[in-house]
Structure 1
Amino acid sequence: MKCPVCNHENGDAHFCERCGSNLTQTTSSPTPVPNSESAASEPEYTRWSSTQATSSQASVPSNTPSVSIHKEQARESTGTNDHASAGDNSSNQWNNIVQNEKVQQAKEVSKQYLSYFLSVLARPYQTMKTVGDQHSLNGWLTMALIAVLSSTYFLITFSRIGMDGLFIGGFLRPLLFTVIILIASIALMYAILKIEKITFRPKTLVAQFGTLLVPAVVSLVLANLFIIISYSIAISLLAVSYIIIFVALNSVLFQYPLNRTKAAIDSMYSVLIANVVVFFILYRLLGEIIIGLIRLMLSPFGRL
């Protein structure tokens, strides 16, 4: 009989001569005894599975630094973006603060100038004697208003009569010419006081001159309003505003103690020269424009 386990031929024996298996028991699914090949393969599989498990376990720590590096890079990039956004926000906030401060300063200057303007308008000469360096900004603002209002007057007039080159001929040129006249007036007063060897502050001189020019601002505002009603009244108010410039120049000079020293020229003549120079500049720069407007005033169209 052949052994079903080891395939050994045993004859009529009840037990296998090689493996000792019971030959009389016949089972449909006998439990096989592991042979040498299975025994040899089992450790190999075990070694392979253990090797794979070890390698998989070892791969986790080896990949951990790279994962942490990626995480750190992500944190750094996020931090950089956060810093950049924070910087943008802070710069925007700073710009808003600066703009708000400038707006507030402009409002404060406007309020101060308005109160100064109203107080000076009542008593310009008396106020002129009390101003100091702190009012120099008000003086510059008054002169700036005179320049702008004069240019606005010529611009409106030229636009109503249909002249070409409104912006250059009707606004920029009168603006530049009026600025030149005002600066020349300050320069002449400065030169005369230096010739007279009088101690003074330039900022105070600007403040005094600007204080006496406040009525000229009112005259120019009325001149711009009366263009619609009557050219004759408007041109008269414009002429009054330029006359006030001469009056302010002489009033500022004569409130100083002139002719204290023996100068090369008498104070009367130096002041007269200053007036002649300002009048010449006014005539050369704005004379043609003003004469043309006076002719327009005398025409039938100007009397409408």
Structure 2
Amino acid sequence: MCDFLGKGVDFMVTCPSCGHNNTEGSKFCENCGAALQGQTAAGNTQQAAQAQYAATSQQDTSGKANEYLETTKNVSKQYFSYFLDVLKRPDGNGMKYGTDNFVNAIITFVLFSLIIPLTLYVHANRQSYFEVPFGEVVVKPVIVFAVFLFIFATIIFGVLKLDQSSVSYKSVLVRYGSLLVPFTAIMFVGALLTFLGLELWGSVLVLSGFSFALVIVPLILIPGFKQDRQRGIDNVYLVIIVYVITSIVLGIMFSMIMDSLEYSSFF
């Protein structure tokens, strides 16, 4: 609409007597000579209305953009505060966050899923003489890792339900997201070292953070939901069930990633 008005398009004024289209601003019809003052005023009114509509539309678009930007800033500040608080005492402070922190858990899942593929992408670019496709090395693995995290949470939720726990799936996700915070921080430091050229130490930290998350989280998450209940399946067996199912899913996941990356073409 702005482009349409900015080009200065002439509005035609139709003669009420003979129907001839006259150029804007004409006081009399070019064909029959009838007065066109009323029609010209109508044309000016239409032009003014269109200009006002364009200005209003632009203001609404700008207002929405500012609103989205402000929302993003608030979410970022809130998550950073949440991340630091949980990082101080993951098992302690993490327990106080309820299902209203579901968004923070999702953000942690995304960060956790992004670090390994992004680190691998940097490493592959340095080792390969060919251009490494970002979509194949980063985007697809990120999706696979994110799906795996939800599957992992689902496995824990299923095991707790097997133990007749009244826990909700959303609360498992939130608690799981809190426990992932320290391991995400470890992996982030490893990724930073990789970007700085210290690939060996960076890779060790990234893989350690991922491995520790798989091993330690069930040991804390399952007893935390069971609390002091003595009935039901013993915690040791519940954790073993989680490890067995997770190993199977993890094997499938890495097989998919290896097929997607096609390592033979990169190294």
Matches within 5 A, 1:160-199: 160-162=126-128, 164=130, 165-199=132-166
- How much does 1:122 deviate? 0.8
2:37 to 71, 74, 88: 71
- Answer yes or no: is the 8 Å Cα contact 2:187–2:206 preserved in 1: yes
Match of 2:19 in 1: none
87 and 184 in structure 1: CA distance in 2 versus 1, 3 angstrom threshold: same
Match of 1:93 in 2: 59
Matches within 5 A, 1:120-269: 120-162=86-128, 164=130, 165-227=132-194, 228-246=196-214, 247-257=216-226, 268-269=236-237
Gaps of 5+ in 1: 1-64, 291-304
- How much does 1:152 deviate? 0.9
- Answer yes or no: is the 8 Å Cα contact 2:191–2:203 preserved in 1: no
The whole-number CA distance in structure 1 between the counterparts of 2:236 and 2:101 is 28
1:274 aligns with 2:248: no
| Structure 1 residue ranges, 4+ long, deviating more than 4 angstroms after superposition | 258-262, 287-290
User: Percent same amino acid among aligned pairs?
Assistant: 20
Match of 2:7 in 1: none
Q: Deviations over 1:232-276 (max 9, x none)?
A: 3222112222123222233222211277665xx665434322222
Q: Deviations over 1:4-27 (max 9, x none)?
A: xxxxxxxxxxxxxxxxxxxxxxxx
Match of 1:19 in 2: none
Which SS does the other structure have where 1:209 is aligned? helix
Match of 2:11 in 1: none
The whole-number CA distance in structure 2 between the counterparts of 1:178 and 1:159 is 21
For 1:200, give the aligned amino acid.
V
Q: Deviations over 1:136-158 (max 9, x none)?
A: 11111011111122221110111
For 2:155, give the aligned amino acid.
L
The whole-number CA distance in structure 2 between the counterparts of 1:225 and 1:125 is 26
Query: For the aligned residues, what is the CA RMSD?
Result: 2.5
Match of 2:81 in 1: 115
The whole-number CA distance in structure 1 between the counterparts of 2:175 and 2:129 is 38
Matches within 5 A, 1:3-18: none
- Answer yes or no: is the 8 Å Cα contact 2:223–2:235 preserved in 1: no
- How much does 1:289 deviate? 7.5
Gaps of 5+ in 2: 1-32, 259-267
1:105 aligns with 2:74: no
The whole-number CA distance in structure 2 between the counterparts of 1:244 and 1:181 is 16
Larger Rg, first or second structure (1 or 2): 1
- Answer yes or no: is the 8 Å Cα contact 2:105–2:177 preserved in 1: yes
289 and 101 in structure 1: CA distance in 2 versus 1, 3 angstrom threshold: closer
Count of residue pairs the alignment pairs up = 222
The whole-number CA distance in structure 1 between the counterparts of 2:239 and 2:46 is 70
- Answer yes or no: is the 8 Å Cα contact 1:159–1:166 preserved in 2: no
- Answer yes or no: is the 8 Å Cα contact 1:128–1:208 preserved in 2: yes
The whole-number CA distance in structure 1 between the counterparts of 2:256 and 2:41 is 75
- How much does 1:163 deviate? 6.2
